[in-house]
Structure 1
Amino acid sequence: MTGTGTGPPEVATGVDADAAAEVDADVCVVGGGPAGAALALALVRLGLRTALLERAPDGLRPFRGESLSPDAVWHLDRLGVLDRLAPEALTVRGLEVADAGRTVLSVPFADFPHAHRFPLELPQPRLLAVLAEAAAEHPGFLPLPRWTVTGLLREGGRTVGVRAATPGGEGLVRARLTAAADGRHSPTRRLAGLPAATTPLRRDVLWLRLPQVWSEPAYRIRIRGDRHAVLLPDSGGTVRVGFNLPKGGLRELRAQGVAALLERLDQLAPELSGVAGQQIGDWSDTALLDIFSTVVPTWWQPGLVLLGDAAHTLSPVLGQGVHHALADAAALAPLAAAALHDGGPAALDAALAGYQRRRQPAVARSRALQARQERLFTWASPPAAALRRTVYRALDAAAPLRRRVLEPVYFADQLSAQEEDQP
C-alpha cells in the first residue's frame, strides 16, 4: 500500500474510528508522531495487535522534526521503510559553522565510516504517513485518528487502557500496555501522575522559511557575538531559518518591526537578505518555538510507559528529537513484545524498567552535549568569542578529533550496534 497524503491512510480494520467504540488491543499507543508511529510499526511487525491514537486529523506539525540524523536514518532502515522515504528526501552532505563572517568548521559527512552517514531532510507528515502505511500492511494495526485521550483505565493498580473522546462520542481502548508518545506536554503523563521537571532554557527560537540559495545541501550555523542562527535545507527547495532569541525576547523584537528581523538576518546570513525582503511581509510568516528541557525521573508505571518527548524533552540543538524518538521505539518494542507474548504483568514491568535503563544514559549524554553547545553559542565577550573560534578551528584542522567529538552526536547507535556485533 502506498500513498501521498499527510496523515495516516484509511485502513480497513473492523473499527470505525469516527464512531464511539470499545477496542481491544495488546498495546495502545497514544500519539502518532515519530515515536508513536515507529513504535506501532515495530509492534505490529512483532505480531502484536496495536491501536494508534492521534488527536490531530492531518499530522501537520510546521517547523518540527524534518531533520533525520544518520542514526535516525539507520533506525528507519531497520524498520523497513527507508527505501520508501529516500527518493523523496534531501541528502545533507555537510555541516558548516561560520563565526563573525568566516567559516571556522566544515564537516563532510562522507568522512565518517558508517553505513548510514548522511542526514536526510523530509517533511514530518510524509514520514508519519509512510510509517502508518507500512504498519497498515499488518493485520494487527488499528489506527484511530481524531481520538483524544481523556482518562486512563485502571484495574488492580495497573493501567489497562484509555478513555478517549472520539468524533462519535466516548471510546475505550483496553490494552495490556499503554505507551504514551504524546509529546513534550504529554497529557497522558499528567493523567498518570508521573512527575516531570521542566526547565525553561535561556532562549527561544523564531523560525521562518526562505528560498534555498546554496547549491550544496548542508547544515549551516552562523554566529556573531551572542547571536546565532541555524540554516537547515529541506526537500522542498527552501531553507528553514531558526534565530535564537532571549527567553521572551520576541515581544521586544516585534516592537522594532519586521525591519529589525531582516537586519538580524543580514548580519548572520547576508546571502539570504535579498530573498528575505521579498518573502517576509509580516510576523505571520514566522513561528516561535518555546525552548525548554524536561527530565522525567521514571518513564513507566505498571501497564504504562513513556517514550519520545513525553519521556525526555530536549532542545532543538543538534537535531536530536526525532533520533531519540525512533531509538526509544526501537528499544521498547522487542522488550515489550517478548513480555506480552510470553510473560505476565511482572515480566512486562521488568521489560519497561529495562527499557528505561537502556535508553536513559543515551538521552542524558545528548542533553549534556546540547548544554555545552548552547553555552558555546552564547559566549559574547571578544576573548570568549575568540576562544570559541579557536575551538571550532581545532576541530576543523584535526579529523580524528572531529570524529571523536561528532560521532557520539550523530552515530552513537550505529557505533553501539557495531560493538554488540563484535565477538
Structure 2
Amino acid sequence: MAAKTTCAIIGGGPAGMVLGLLLARAGVDVTLLEKHGDFLRDFRGDTVHPTTLRLLDELGLWERFAAMPHSEVRTAKFEAGGRSVTYVDFGRLRQPHPFVAMVPQWDLLNLLAEAAQTEPSFTLRMNTEATGLLRDGGRVTGVRYQGPDGPGELRAELTVACDGRWSVARRAAGLDTREYPVNYDVWWFRLPREGAAEFSFLPRTAPGKALVVIPREGYDQIAYIGAKGTDAQLRARGIEAFRHDISGLLPDADSVDSLESMDDIKHLDVRVDRVRRWHVDGLLCIGDAAHAMSPLGGVGINMAVQDAVAAATILAEPLLRHRVTDRDLAAVRRRRLFPTAVTQGVQRLLQRMLLGRLLRGEDPTPPAALLGLMERLPWLSFLPAYFIGVGVRPERAPAFARRGPGL
C-alpha cells in the first residue's frame, strides 16, 4: 500500500524547505522529497536577501542564522573613469537587516530542515527522487519516486512542485511554458583570496565577455559571462586558454593558476521562462518550477521564498480542512504573478541594455551623465536596493508560523 500524506513537496531547495516548514507549523502533515543525500551543491544561489532575513527573524531562526559564517553585502559600486559611485545601498532600506547575506545555500537549507524536523507533522525523505505523478482520472493524487529501498508511491491531497527549472512534475503535468530569449550563459568558479575585499558589482569586461567578483569568506566567487551556446567551444579550448582569458579580465589576480582543469568551471545554462498556468487539479508549481529567473540581481531565491510564504499563507487552512480547491491553487498564482512578471521584465530589459552591448563587444559602462546623477542624488541608490533586496510584493510570515527567538 502506498504511503499517504496531506501535502507532498518535491524538491528541497529554498522554496520547498520554506513551504514545508511553514505548513508543518500550521499542523499540516507534510512529506518533502529531496533526490540528493545532502544539500552540498556548489554554486547554487548563495544570496539571502533582506526580506528573507526578516522572514528568518519572524520564524525565530535569526540567531542561529547569524551565528553561521557569512559575509554581508551592504553596497555595490561602479568604478569607472577614476570615480567610485555607489549605485546600490541596502542601508537605505527600512528592513531589520539591511544587507544581502552571502552564505552557502547548504547551510541555509540545513537550518530550515532542522527547524522543520522539530515539527511532528513534517517528514523529510532524502535520496528520494520524484519520477512521475500518480493520477486518478484527471486529478494528481501523489508522486511516484525512486528511494533508497527502490521505487515507491506517495499519495497526497496536494502535491507541490519545487523541483526547479527542469521540474519533473511540471513536465509530467503537461503545463505549458512560455520561454523568453536569453543571449548569455554564466560559468561559475572560485579563486582563493587572502584578506578582506569590498563588494563591487561592476563587471570586468572585454569584447564579448565579462566577469563579476563576489567576495566570500576566504575566497572569491567568480561569475564569468559569455555568449549562450558556447560552453562546448570554451571547454574545447582548454584550461590554459581559459586562465589566459581570466587573467586579461583580472590582471592583478595571482590565484588564476589554482584552476587546474575545466572540471573546476561549472556551467549555468541561463533560462527565463514562466508557466502559463501554475496548477492542475491536485498539483501546484512554485519557485523556478513555475518561473525560471535569470541570475541578474540574484533575485531568484528571494522570489522562490516569497512564493512559498504566499502558498503556505493561502493553503494552510484548506489543507487542514482537507478541502483544497482549484480556486485555492489559482489564488497562489494570482498573488505571485504580478511580482514575477515585473521582475522578469526588468531582468529582460537589463539583459538587452547591458549584456546585449557587452556581448556585441561594446563598452557597458554607464554614461558619465548617469554616474554624475548618482553622485549628486545618492538617494537613487535606494531604487535598485529595493528591487533586489525587497522586491515587488514582499511576503510576511503568517501568524501560525511565527516563533520567538530560541523557540
TM over 0.5: yes
Letter in 2 for 1:60: L
Which residue in 2 is equivalent to 1:420?
A: none
How far, CA to CA, are the matches of 1:86 and 1:414 in structure 2? 25
What are the ranges of 5 or more consecutive residues in structure 2 without an aligned counterpart? Answer: 397-407
Distance 1:361 1:260 in 2: 44
Output the amino acid matched with 1:233: P
Residue 281 (structure 1) aligned to one of 260, 277, 287: 260
- C-alpha distance in structure 2 between counterparts of 1:58 and 1:340, whole Å: 28
Alignment partner, residue 334 of structure 2:
357
1:249 corresponds to 2:236: no
Q: Which residue of 2 aligns with 1:26?
A: 6
Q: What is the identity percentage for the equivalent residue pairs of Structure 1 and Structure 2?
A: 33
Q: Distance in 2 between matches of 1:397 and 1:267?
A: 33
Q: Is the 8 A contact 2:140 2:281 kept in 1?
A: yes
**1:217: Cα distance to partner?**
4.6
Q: CA distance change for structure 1 residues 390 and 87 in 2, over 3 Å: closer, same or farther?
A: farther
Change (3 A) 1:119 1:387: closer
Decide whether the 8 Å contact of 2:175 with 2:277 is kept in 1: yes
Instruction: Return closer, same or farther for 1:256/1:390 CA change in 2, 3 Å cut-off.
Output: farther
Q: How much has 1:264 moved relative to structure 2? A: 3.0
Aligned residues: 392
Partner SS state of residue 218, structure 1:
coil
* Larger RCO (alpha carbons 8 Å, 6+ apart): 2
Aligned counterparts of 1:410 and 1:247: Cα–Cα separation in 2: 27
Matching residue of 2:73: 92
Taking only aligned residues, the RMSD between alpha carbons, in angstroms, comes to 2.5
Change over 3 Å in CA distance of 1:262–1:330 after alignment to 2: same
Partner secondary structure for residue 175 of structure 2: coil
Alignment-derived partner of residue 13 in structure 1: none
Q: Which residue of 2 aligns with 1:71?
A: 51
Q: Which residue of 2 aligns with 1:17?
A: none
Q: State whether residues 71 and 413 of structure 1, in contact with CA within 8 Å, keep that contact through their aligned partners in structure 2.
A: no
Q: Distance in 1 between matches of 2:22 and 2:395?
A: 20
CA distance in 2, matches of 1:193, 1:369: 28
What residue is the counterpart of 2:216 in the other structure?
234
Alpha-carbon separation, structure 1, partners of 2:123 and 2:59 = 18
Map Cα deviations across residues 265-320 of structure 1 (whole Å, 9 max, x no partner). 3343334x21112x112212211111111211111111110011101001111001
Alpha-carbon distance in 2 for matches of 1:103, 1:171: 58
Is the partner of 1:241 in helix, strand or coil? Answer: strand
**Cα pair 1:91 1:217 within 8 Å, conserved:** no
1:147 and 1:355, CA in 2 relative to 1: closer, same or farther beyond 3 A? same
TM-score normalised per structure 2: 0.88
Question: Paired residue for 1:57?
Answer: 37
Is the 2:142–2:158 contact (alpha carbons within 8 Å) kept by the matching residues of 1? yes
| CA positional deviation for 1:322 | 1.1
The AA in structure 2 aligned to 1:137 is: T
Cα distance in 2 for partners of 1:264, 1:393 equals 32
TM-score, structure 1 as length reference: 0.85
- Residue 150 of structure 1 is matched in structure 2 by 131
Paired AA for residue 42 in structure 1: L
Residues 36 and 312 (structure 1 numbering): CA distance in 2 closer, same or farther, change over 3 Å?
same
Residues 257 and 175 from structure 1, CA distance in 2 versus in 1: closer, same or farther, beyond 3 angstroms? closer
* Cα-to-partner distance string for 1:90-135 (whole Å, 9 max, x where unaligned): 2223212335786454534323332221110111111111111000
CA distance in 2, matches of 1:232, 1:76: 23
Relative to structure 2, which stretch is displaced further, 302-311 or 166-175? 166-175
